[in-house]
């Protein structure tokens, strides 16, 4: 029974679930949007919001915490240099979930998880290079 269980298991063991969520978060920050199921998107959204909030602090401890959540140094650098600057005046709501319908094979609800205001990052990038 699922009484008072707040964590969605996503059909995986803990280690495999954590590895999947880490890879989805890294993909979200790399590509600025990902296509996945609704349940996975809701779990990834929690991690992504936490990572952006930590990166806005800007201290070394926060940087190490973000590295422990993602496990990828390139992603940490990108979040610190590009993404935190865009959201410095925003108090939350860094991601958006758009429903896309159902997957043909198994009928799972598919959605797109994307970062809000990423046009600013895309415009800033060619200026810096």
Q: Looking at the DSSP assignment, which residues form a beta bridge with residue 33?
A: 114
pLDDT tens sequence across 89-121: 999 899 999 999 999 999 999 999 999 987 766
Q: Looking at the DSSP assignment, which residues form a beta bridge with residue 110?
A: 37, 101
For the chain, how far is it from start to end, CA to CA, in angstroms?
Answer: 55
pTM of the complete model beyond 0.75: yes
Residue 7's pLDDT band (cuts 50, 70, 90): confident
Q: Which residues contact 105 (CB under 8 A, 6 or more apart)?
A: none
Domain 14-128 indexed as CATH 3.90.1030.10: yes
Sort strands 109-115 and 95-102 into parallel, antiparallel or unpaired. antiparallel
Residue 3's pLDDT band (cuts 50, 70, 90): confident
Domain spans of the chain? 14-128
Residue 125's pLDDT band (cuts 50, 70, 90): low
Helix (H, G, I), strand (E, B) or coil at 117: coil
């Amino acid at each position: 029974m699922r009484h008072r269980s707040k964590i969605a298991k996503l059909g995986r063991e803990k280690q495999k679930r954590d590895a999947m969520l880490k890879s989805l978060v890294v993909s979200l920050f790399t590509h600025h949007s990902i296509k996945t199921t609704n349940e996975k998107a809701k779990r990834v959204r929690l991690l992504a919001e936490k990572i952006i909030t930590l990166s806005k602090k800007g201290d070394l401890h926060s940087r190490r915490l973000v590295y422990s959540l993602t496990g990828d140094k390139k992603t940490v650098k990108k979040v610190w240099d590009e993404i935190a600057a865009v959201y410095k005046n925003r108090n939350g709501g860094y991601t958006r979930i758009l429903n896309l319908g159902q997957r043909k094979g198994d009928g799972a609800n598919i959605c797109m998880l994307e970062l809000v205001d990423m046009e600013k990052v895309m415009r800033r990038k060619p200026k810096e290079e």
